[in-house]
Structure formats: C-alpha cells, structure tokens
Amino acid sequence: MQQSQRSHKTRGRPDIPKIGRGLPSARAGEPPPPEFLVGIDEFNTGRYYACHETLEALWVVERDPIRYLYQGILQIGVGLYHHSRGNYRGATSLLRRGMGLLPPFTPRSLGVDVEKLLRESQRCYDILVALGPDRMGELDLALLPKVRLVAGAEPSRASDDGEALSR
C-alpha cells in the first residue's frame, strides 16, 4: 500500500485520484453551482469547518480539473480555521497548499475572482510568516481573504458598478 493511501484511510477519507491537477478547466466560464455558493458563503462568514465539508463533498465526486478550484479554496479555508485555533504550522501550510492549486483558474473561474483570492491569501500568508507562531494572533482579521464573485455570477446579488461582489 502506498503512503498516501495509508494516510487517507487513517483519516477515513477515500483515496482520490489526482485527475487533471494543474490543468485549466473547460468549465471555468460556467456559472457557479448552488452547492459551491453555499461553500463560498460559509468561507466568507468564517464558518471554515462547514466550508470544508461542503467543498469536500463537491471535490470528491468531481472529475473535471475544476475540482482543484474547490480543493484550493477548501485548503485556504482550513488554513484560516487553523489560524483561528492558534495552529501556526497548520495555518501556513494549508494556506500555501491551497494557493498552489489556484493558478490554473486565474483570473476567474465559476464566477470567482480567483486572482483577487490569491492576492488576499498571499498577503495573509506573508503577514503570518512575518509575525511567526508567537505573534500570529496579532493578524488583523480584516485582512483575512474572502472569496469574491464577479458581477453577474450570482444574478440576485449583481452590482450596478460591475465590481467583484463579496458574499
């Protein structure tokens, strides 16, 4: 049995093949699925554990490379969850891993301003690293990244000025 299989089974998660990792998705221009919007709302309201559950349910069954958009956002959220619990190593490693999955989906995918999410996440990561484990609690919570939808991605929340929306 491979190391990755053993670790997934230990955590009770099924083995999930790395289908299309690092590749762009032909589905990037599609509107966001309703379940994805739920996960975005959970992320943006600081319910990172719930966001993890919602996005993992999408990620596990998805076979298109868009699954790594779900996984990247999920991992950034888990990094923020670790920050909220004072776990420096978990916060920095999950933020870094999540950011590493998102570049194929820039500038936008499924209505998400991925480029902005990456910038905000990188800023948060850089500040956490500069603060270090002893001062991580000093991070200004106003600087936590948000998943922003572009105008028109969610018709009921469209803005008049065409700027990205925050749920």
The domains found in the chain, sorted by start residue, are 33-166 (1.10.3450.10)
- Round to whole Å and give the CA distance between 147 and 165: 9
Residues 113/150, Cβ–Cβ less than 8 Å: yes
Strand-pair partners of 108: 113
Residues 122/99, Cβ–Cβ less than 8 Å: yes
pLDDT 10s digits, 125-156:
999 999 999 999 999 999 999 999 998 765 44
Q: Which pLDDT score, from 0 to 100, does residue 23 have?
A: 76
Overall pTM surpassing 0.85 (yes/no) = no
- Round to whole Å and give the CA distance between 9 and 33: 29
pLDDT 10s digits, 25-73:
889 999 999 999 999 999 999 999 999 999 999 999 998 999 999 999 9
Given a cut of 60, is residue 8 above it in pLDDT?
Answer: no
* C-alpha 48 chain-centroid distance: 10
- Round to whole Å and give the CA distance between 25 and 108: 11
Higher pLDDT, 24 or 93: 93
Q: What values do phi and psi take at 18, rounded to 5?
A: -90, 75
- CA proximity to 70, closest of 26, 107, 109: 109
What share of the chain in percent tops pLDDT 70?
Answer: 80
